[in-house]
Amino acid sequence: MADNGSSQATSAWPLPTFCFEVKWDSAVMAFQEVSGLDVEAQIIEYRAGQPGQESSPLFSTPKMPGLNKSGNVTLKNGVYKSDNKFRDWFSQIKMNTIKRQPVTISLLDEAGNATMVWTLTNAWPSKITGTDLKSDDMEVVIEALEVVHEGISIDNR
């Protein structure tokens, strides 16, 4: 008799990407796509010693971890009539002044519970990209908001 998989642990399967939510300023928003949730350590190349002195037997530059660096996060969603949440936040930008706030992106399980959470620290919108308008196209209008932040923390529950 074939195994129907009912005895297999739920942790044996990778999480799907299609069920997630985004929160900012106490509002829960639905998005079609979130991208740019990456973190990297900058590389510092350093070779000790003075010119003319050989202090390392290796004929290569040792590499050390430097500062952490995060890319901008892009949020995409469909445009709805009278929905101005993107533009309202973006319009608050004044010369060197913007309301910075945490943005939380949660990957949800089948029951709607957060399983993995990305929190952007001191986030603010840097760019809104509209859609291309074409008279011979029947696609939905998609808008993108690029969010800058000062760090990302990841919690895998």
Closest listed residue to residue 108, CA positions, set 1, 17, 6: 17
Closest listed residue to residue 143, CA positions, set 28, 42, 2, 30: 30
> What are the pLDDT digits (tens) for 66-92?
999 899 999 998 888 877 777 788 888
Q: 140 falls in which pLDDT band (50, 70, 90)?
A: confident
Q: Where do the domains of the chain lie, and which CATH numbers do they carry?
A: 15-41+64-156 (2.30.110.20)
Record the pTM: 0.76
> What are the pLDDT digits (tens) for 115-126?
999 999 999 999
> What are the pLDDT digits (tens) for 24-58?
878 888 888 999 999 899 999 877 665 555 566 66
